Amino acid sequence: MQYRSLGRRGLEVSAVGFGAMTLSPGIYAGVTEADAAAALVAALDAGVTFIDTADIYGAGHSETLIGRVLGGRRDHVVLASKFGGDTDAEGRLLPGMGRASYLRKALDASLTRLNTDHLDLYYLHRLDVTTPVEETVGALGELVEEGKINHIGLSEVSASTIRRADAVHPITAIQTEYSLFSRGPEDGVLPACRELGIGFVAYSPLGRGLLGGGVRAAGDLAENDWRRTNPRFQGPNLEHNVSVADAVETVAAELEVTGAQLALAWLIQRGVVPIPGTRRASNVLANAAAADLALDPAVFDRLESLVPRDAVAGGQADDSYLAAIDVT
């Protein structure tokens, strides 16, 4: 495993992290408690030191599992969680989750589930439009001073919001969906992070399974798998996107790696820390190995020609999901 600094704030993480949303049932269907625990242990044994979760993953289930599995290994990992992503029955963000009173209660609940007295990185999951981001970051800065969190992060926010937030307290990391299939951060968020010395964490780095080879037809998704609501996994869009993923697999086969490893290495060599999630220990080990791949410029050029920014069919999520993302 390779390690790197996440931005310029002194937080060292493994070049490949572990996204723990997949550890909870009801999100990506079919995970068992035993498989989830085995996947997390495999990540730790492979040298993965960056574990990323959130309080809404399985309504706290992901955090509870991590707290139980980590045990005496807690001090060997960079433990990150998120608050502020709760929604109502229509999928709309609940107001007020960026306020100090809310985030303090949310943190205390997460610390209890994670069985720890502090978090290394604590993110605002989604921007609370009812609370100025300056107020939220100011409250998070107080938690840093109190030693309850070490670093502050934001998730799915715009470049202008990043600049406003960083002016109040140094932001260590921005987390946003980014992959060969989702290139939006290149327009403004990634340049802002590089300008300000903020680390970038890529969630869904394998296109929610399309680049990992796990989804080739609608029948590969369980009936309650939430990806069925995603336009990229519906009808002709899915068929087209699988063909694009197959083109990536062809390049990977020539390099004697998997398509997933190639997609992760593409991100790593762009200075990004991907956090792939999986329920299978074997996939964890394969993902971790991507940290040691070195791609030459010709591979980047070829991937750019095979997967240009407009190559993927369908939006990256449904309307309710996209409505919670800060784009101003």
Question: Which segment of 97-111, 117-131, 191-205, 220-234 scores lowest on mean pLDDT?
Answer: 220-234
Residue extents of the structural domains in the chain = 3-323
CA distances from 158 to 85, 99, 186, 276, 328 (A): 17, 19, 11, 22, 6
Does residue 57 have an active-site annotation? Answer: yes
Residue 35 sits at the vertex; the CA angle it makes with 226 and 74, to the nearest 5 degrees, is 100
Over pLDDT 90: what percentage of the chain? 67
- Which residue is catalytic, options 3, 28, 57, 178? 57
State the pLDDT at residue 24: 77
Predicted confidence (pLDDT) per residue in 106-165, tens digit: 999 999 999 999 999 999 999 999 999 999 999 999 999 999 999 999 999 999 999 999
| Mean confidence (pLDDT) of the chain | 91
pLDDT band for position 262 (cuts 50, 70, 90): very high
Comparing 41 with 328, the larger pLDDT belongs to: 41
CATH number of 3-323: 3.20.20.100
Q: What distance in Å separates the CA atoms of residue 66 and residue 61, rounded to the nearest whole number?
A: 9
Q: What distance in Å separates the CA atoms of residue 192 and residue 194, rounded to the nearest whole number?
A: 5
> What is the phi/psi pair of residue 200, to 5°?
-120, 125
Helix axes 297-306, 259-268, angle to 10 degrees: 110
State the pLDDT at residue 228: 78
Q: What distance in Å separates the CA atoms of residue 51 and residue 249, rounded to the nearest whole number?
A: 27
CA distances from 309 to 73, 121, 271 (A): 40, 31, 19
User: Could you tell me the pTM of the whole model?
Assistant: 0.91
Secondary structure of the chain: what % helix, strand, coil (to 5)? Answer: 45, 15, 40
Contact 51/66 with Cβ under 8 angstroms? yes
